[in-house]
Amino acid sequence: MIPGRFAANLDWLYPERAYVDRIAAARADGFAAVEMLQPHLQHEAELAARLAGLRVALINAPAGDWAAGERGLMALPGREDEFRELTRCGLALAVRLGAPVMHLMSGIAEDGPETRATWLANLRWAAEQAPAGLTLTVEPINRRDMPGYFLHRQAQALELLATLGSPRVKLQLDLYHCRVSEGGESLGHLRRALDLGLLGHVQLAGVDGRHEPLADEYAAELALLAERAWPGSVGLEYRPRGDTSAGLAWLSPASG
Protein backbone atom coordinates (compact mmCIF):
# COMPACT_ATOMS: atom_id res chain seq x y z
CA MET A 1 0.00 0.00 0.00
CA ILE A 2 1.27 3.48 -0.90
CA PRO A 3 1.68 5.66 2.24
CA GLY A 4 -1.04 8.30 2.36
CA ARG A 5 1.27 11.30 2.16
CA PHE A 6 2.28 10.48 -1.44
CA ALA A 7 0.33 11.79 -4.43
CA ALA A 8 0.66 10.42 -7.96
CA ASN A 9 1.39 13.16 -10.47
CA LEU A 10 -0.93 12.32 -13.35
CA ASP A 11 1.00 14.42 -15.85
CA TRP A 12 4.19 12.38 -15.30
CA LEU A 13 3.25 8.91 -14.09
CA TYR A 14 1.55 6.24 -16.23
CA PRO A 15 2.56 7.94 -19.52
CA GLU A 16 1.50 4.93 -21.58
CA ARG A 17 -2.14 5.51 -20.64
CA ALA A 18 -4.68 8.14 -21.66
CA TYR A 19 -4.81 10.89 -19.05
CA VAL A 20 -8.13 9.97 -17.41
CA ASP A 21 -7.12 6.29 -17.39
CA ARG A 22 -4.14 7.17 -15.21
CA ILE A 23 -6.55 7.81 -12.35
CA ALA A 24 -7.66 4.18 -12.22
CA ALA A 25 -4.04 3.04 -12.47
CA ALA A 26 -3.06 5.24 -9.51
CA ARG A 27 -6.00 3.93 -7.51
CA ALA A 28 -5.07 0.33 -8.34
CA ASP A 29 -1.52 0.94 -7.12
CA GLY A 30 -2.84 2.13 -3.77
CA PHE A 31 -2.57 5.91 -4.07
CA ALA A 32 -5.10 7.84 -2.02
CA ALA A 33 -4.20 11.16 -3.65
CA VAL A 34 -3.19 12.62 -7.00
CA GLU A 35 -1.88 15.94 -8.26
CA MET A 36 -2.47 17.47 -11.69
CA LEU A 37 -0.53 20.11 -13.61
CA GLN A 38 -2.96 20.76 -16.44
CA PRO A 39 -6.40 19.51 -15.38
CA HIS A 40 -8.01 22.39 -17.27
CA LEU A 41 -7.15 20.58 -20.52
CA GLN A 42 -9.39 17.65 -19.57
CA HIS A 43 -13.16 17.24 -19.77
CA GLU A 44 -14.08 18.29 -16.26
CA ALA A 45 -17.16 16.11 -15.77
CA GLU A 46 -15.31 12.96 -16.79
CA LEU A 47 -12.29 13.94 -14.73
CA ALA A 48 -14.42 14.49 -11.62
CA ALA A 49 -16.29 11.21 -12.12
CA ARG A 50 -13.05 9.24 -12.44
CA LEU A 51 -11.56 10.96 -9.39
CA ALA A 52 -14.40 9.93 -7.08
CA GLY A 53 -12.85 8.51 -3.92
CA LEU A 54 -9.39 9.97 -4.56
CA ARG A 55 -8.10 13.11 -2.90
CA VAL A 56 -6.78 15.86 -5.18
CA ALA A 57 -3.71 17.16 -3.34
CA LEU A 58 -2.79 19.94 -5.75
CA ILE A 59 -3.52 21.42 -9.14
CA ASN A 60 -1.68 24.02 -11.20
CA ALA A 61 -3.48 27.08 -12.48
CA PRO A 62 -3.37 27.46 -16.27
CA ALA A 63 0.10 28.75 -17.18
CA GLY A 64 -0.44 30.50 -20.52
CA ASP A 65 0.41 29.12 -23.95
CA TRP A 66 2.40 26.05 -22.93
CA ALA A 67 3.03 24.91 -26.52
CA ALA A 68 4.56 28.31 -27.30
CA GLY A 69 6.91 28.04 -24.32
CA GLU A 70 5.04 30.04 -21.71
CA ARG A 71 5.44 28.77 -18.16
CA GLY A 72 3.19 31.09 -16.22
CA LEU A 73 2.56 34.84 -16.41
CA MET A 74 2.94 36.01 -12.83
CA ALA A 75 6.28 37.82 -13.27
CA LEU A 76 5.57 39.18 -16.76
CA PRO A 77 4.87 42.94 -16.91
CA GLY A 78 2.01 43.79 -19.24
CA ARG A 79 0.29 40.41 -18.90
CA GLU A 80 -1.63 41.17 -15.72
CA ASP A 81 -5.11 40.90 -17.22
CA GLU A 82 -4.32 37.48 -18.72
CA PHE A 83 -2.79 36.33 -15.44
CA ARG A 84 -5.96 37.29 -13.58
CA GLU A 85 -8.20 35.50 -16.05
CA LEU A 86 -6.15 32.30 -15.85
CA THR A 87 -5.96 32.50 -12.06
CA ARG A 88 -9.72 32.88 -11.75
CA CYS A 89 -10.17 29.78 -13.92
CA GLY A 90 -7.70 27.86 -11.79
CA LEU A 91 -9.30 28.88 -8.50
CA ALA A 92 -12.76 27.89 -9.70
CA LEU A 93 -11.49 24.50 -10.86
CA ALA A 94 -9.58 23.91 -7.61
CA VAL A 95 -12.79 24.51 -5.66
CA ARG A 96 -14.84 22.19 -7.85
CA LEU A 97 -12.23 19.41 -7.61
CA GLY A 98 -11.72 19.91 -3.87
CA ALA A 99 -8.00 20.69 -4.20
CA PRO A 100 -6.63 22.42 -1.08
CA VAL A 101 -3.50 23.71 -2.85
CA MET A 102 -3.01 25.53 -6.17
CA HIS A 103 0.36 26.26 -7.72
CA LEU A 104 0.86 29.48 -9.66
CA MET A 105 3.76 29.36 -12.11
CA SER A 106 5.97 32.45 -12.21
CA GLY A 107 7.00 32.54 -15.87
CA ILE A 108 10.10 32.95 -17.99
CA ALA A 109 11.61 36.28 -16.97
CA GLU A 110 14.86 37.65 -15.60
CA ASP A 111 14.93 38.67 -11.95
CA GLY A 112 14.86 42.42 -11.55
CA PRO A 113 12.91 45.29 -9.94
CA GLU A 114 10.12 45.34 -12.55
CA THR A 115 9.58 41.58 -12.63
CA ARG A 116 9.69 41.38 -8.83
CA ALA A 117 7.13 44.16 -8.50
CA THR A 118 4.88 42.48 -11.08
CA TRP A 119 5.23 39.07 -9.40
CA LEU A 120 4.40 40.50 -5.98
CA ALA A 121 1.43 42.54 -7.18
CA ASN A 122 -0.04 39.62 -9.10
CA LEU A 123 0.45 37.19 -6.23
CA ARG A 124 -1.01 39.65 -3.73
CA TRP A 125 -4.09 39.96 -5.92
CA ALA A 126 -4.34 36.16 -6.29
CA ALA A 127 -4.10 35.69 -2.52
CA GLU A 128 -7.01 38.10 -2.06
CA GLN A 129 -9.13 36.07 -4.49
CA ALA A 130 -8.39 32.64 -3.02
CA PRO A 131 -11.31 31.23 -1.02
CA ALA A 132 -10.88 30.20 2.60
CA GLY A 133 -9.12 26.87 2.94
CA LEU A 134 -7.22 27.12 -0.36
CA THR A 135 -3.47 27.66 -0.18
CA LEU A 136 -1.52 29.13 -3.11
CA THR A 137 2.04 27.94 -3.70
CA VAL A 138 5.03 29.17 -5.66
CA GLU A 139 7.84 26.85 -6.72
CA PRO A 140 11.49 27.52 -7.51
CA ILE A 141 12.26 25.55 -10.70
CA ASN A 142 15.82 24.87 -11.81
CA ARG A 143 17.04 26.67 -14.91
CA ARG A 144 18.69 23.61 -16.39
CA ASP A 145 15.31 22.04 -17.02
CA MET A 146 13.43 25.31 -17.54
CA PRO A 147 15.88 27.94 -18.83
CA GLY A 148 15.09 31.50 -17.84
CA TYR A 149 12.46 30.64 -15.22
CA PHE A 150 12.03 33.62 -12.90
CA LEU A 151 11.77 31.82 -9.56
CA HIS A 152 14.72 29.41 -9.40
CA ARG A 153 16.43 29.66 -5.99
CA GLN A 154 15.09 28.89 -2.51
CA ALA A 155 16.51 32.08 -0.95
CA GLN A 156 14.91 34.15 -3.71
CA ALA A 157 11.54 32.53 -3.04
CA LEU A 158 11.75 32.99 0.74
CA GLU A 159 12.80 36.64 0.34
CA LEU A 160 9.85 37.36 -1.93
CA LEU A 161 7.40 35.50 0.31
CA ALA A 162 8.65 37.50 3.29
CA THR A 163 8.05 40.72 1.34
CA LEU A 164 4.58 39.50 0.35
CA GLY A 165 3.72 38.58 3.94
CA SER A 166 0.55 36.66 3.10
CA PRO A 167 -0.48 33.57 5.11
CA ARG A 168 -2.42 32.42 2.03
CA VAL A 169 0.76 31.78 0.02
CA LYS A 170 3.39 29.16 0.79
CA LEU A 171 6.42 27.48 -0.74
CA GLN A 172 6.18 24.48 -3.02
CA LEU A 173 9.52 22.76 -2.47
CA ASP A 174 10.39 20.28 -5.20
CA LEU A 175 13.38 18.40 -3.78
CA TYR A 176 14.60 17.53 -7.29
CA HIS A 177 14.63 21.14 -8.48
CA CYS A 178 16.19 22.20 -5.20
CA ARG A 179 19.08 19.76 -5.51
CA VAL A 180 19.75 20.70 -9.13
CA SER A 181 19.72 24.45 -8.37
CA GLU A 182 21.38 24.41 -4.97
CA GLY A 183 24.33 22.11 -5.55
CA GLY A 184 22.77 18.91 -4.27
CA GLU A 185 21.56 20.25 -0.91
CA SER A 186 17.89 19.98 -0.04
CA LEU A 187 17.55 18.90 3.59
CA GLY A 188 18.57 22.27 5.00
CA HIS A 189 16.23 24.11 2.68
CA LEU A 190 13.37 21.82 3.68
CA ARG A 191 14.12 22.36 7.38
CA ARG A 192 14.20 26.14 6.89
CA ALA A 193 10.81 26.15 5.15
CA LEU A 194 9.35 24.05 7.97
CA ASP A 195 10.86 26.29 10.63
CA LEU A 196 9.33 29.36 8.95
CA GLY A 197 5.94 27.70 8.63
CA LEU A 198 6.04 28.26 4.88
CA LEU A 199 5.99 24.72 3.51
CA GLY A 200 2.85 24.23 1.44
CA HIS A 201 3.65 21.25 -0.79
CA VAL A 202 6.57 18.93 -1.56
CA GLN A 203 7.51 17.09 -4.75
CA LEU A 204 10.39 14.81 -5.62
CA ALA A 205 12.18 12.92 -8.38
CA GLY A 206 15.51 11.19 -8.65
CA VAL A 207 18.25 13.65 -9.55
CA ASP A 208 19.70 11.23 -12.10
CA GLY A 209 17.49 11.69 -15.16
CA ARG A 210 14.43 12.80 -13.18
CA HIS A 211 13.38 9.16 -12.85
CA GLU A 212 12.34 7.19 -9.76
CA PRO A 213 14.51 8.15 -6.78
CA LEU A 214 16.99 5.68 -5.38
CA ALA A 215 15.56 3.85 -2.38
CA ASP A 216 17.33 6.10 0.14
CA GLU A 217 17.78 9.24 -1.97
CA TYR A 218 15.35 11.33 0.07
CA ALA A 219 15.24 9.25 3.24
CA ALA A 220 16.42 12.14 5.42
CA GLU A 221 13.90 14.57 3.98
CA LEU A 222 11.00 12.13 4.35
CA ALA A 223 12.09 11.35 7.91
CA LEU A 224 12.11 15.08 8.72
CA LEU A 225 8.57 15.50 7.39
CA ALA A 226 7.44 12.58 9.55
CA GLU A 227 9.29 13.89 12.60
CA ARG A 228 7.62 17.29 12.26
CA ALA A 229 4.22 15.66 11.56
CA TRP A 230 3.90 17.92 8.54
CA PRO A 231 0.34 17.36 7.24
CA GLY A 232 0.87 18.08 3.53
CA SER A 233 1.38 15.87 0.50
CA VAL A 234 4.48 14.74 -1.39
CA GLY A 235 3.93 14.61 -5.13
CA LEU A 236 5.76 12.03 -7.21
CA GLU A 237 6.71 14.12 -10.24
CA TYR A 238 9.13 11.96 -12.15
CA ARG A 239 9.58 10.23 -15.48
CA PRO A 240 9.28 6.45 -14.96
CA ARG A 241 12.17 4.43 -16.35
CA GLY A 242 9.72 1.74 -17.44
CA ASP A 243 6.45 0.48 -16.02
CA THR A 244 5.18 3.00 -13.46
CA SER A 245 3.70 0.40 -11.11
CA ALA A 246 6.85 -1.72 -11.03
CA GLY A 247 8.94 1.40 -10.43
CA LEU A 248 7.03 2.21 -7.24
CA ALA A 249 9.10 -0.43 -5.42
CA TRP A 250 11.46 2.37 -4.29
CA LEU A 251 8.73 3.57 -1.89
CA SER A 252 8.84 0.59 0.46
CA PRO A 253 12.19 1.36 2.12
CA ALA A 254 12.09 5.12 1.53
CA SER A 255 8.72 6.09 2.92
CA GLY A 256 9.32 5.33 6.56
Active-site residue numbers? 139, 237
DSSP 37-52: S-GGGS-HHHHHHHHT
User: 236, 7 in Cβ contact below 8 A?
Assistant: yes
The single-letter DSSP state of residue 208 is: T
Q: How far apart are the first and last CA of the chain?
A: 13
172: β partners: 201
Cα 7 from Cα 9, distance rounded (Å): 6
User: 57, 36 in Cβ contact below 8 A?
Assistant: no
Give the gyration radius of the chain's Cα atoms.
Answer: 17
